[in-house]
Homo-oligomer: A and B are copies of this chain.
Amino acid sequence: MELLKRKIEDEGTVLSGQVLKVDAFLNHQIDPVLMLEIGKEFSRLFAGEGVTKVLTLESSGIAPSVMAALEMKVPVVFARKQKSLTLTDNLYVERVYSFTKQQTNEVTVAKKFLSADDRVLIIDDFLANGEAALGLANIVKAAGAEVAGIGIVIEKSFQPGADKLKAAGYRVESLARVASLDNGKVTFLNNSVSEEDTHVQLV
């Protein structure tokens, strides 16, 4: 998605060979017009999948997911991250390890919001090691529902997440695929899913 790649080039910050900071438009400050375009792109990519629900993880997944769900006219559910839980009777719970933050969160979804006939599109802001997306996919399976696909805003293709998810049989579509962050510079893979050049005025 050219619009997203340009925004990453213009406003992203490479903090190291591993870390790309996009808090100017995705993770802390959010560009809502870009989010709408991202939502339209996910909707276009997964149009044939019969999606009935979007599932994401708080907080940075919410904005792109709400826009995708708006385009698809389905509800979103955002899984909650919690340090520890006592009452879990009505919840699906997965333990998800974050390599970036070096901590494990319990990720939860209320059972009443996923049913066995749901076809669920999982959306997340970043894909690195794939732990979060796999945790969400496990919750979908625990509900007896199907994963319709996994939509990622920014994939760090030099980390193993995308390969892990594909090996597990999931369709993964990433709107920007970062090949490398070496030498303080973002290098994209050529084969990002959409090469249209939109002329949208971002904020």
Residues of chain A at the chain B interface (Cβ within 8 Å): 23-25, 28-33, 35-36, 58-59, 62-63, 66-67, 69-70, 73-78, 80, 109-110, 113, 203
Main secondary structure of the interface of A (DSSP, over half): mixed
B33 touches A110 (CB 8 A): no
B76 touches A32 (CB 8 A): yes
A76 to B36, CA, bound (A): 13
A75 touches B28 (CB 8 A): no
A58 to B76, CA, bound (A): 16
Set B25, B33, B73, B109: member contacting A33, Cβ < 8 A: B73
* Minimum Cβ distance to chain B for residue A32 (Å): 4
A35 touches B110 (CB 8 A): no
Set B59, B66, B80: member contacting A78, Cβ < 8 A: B59
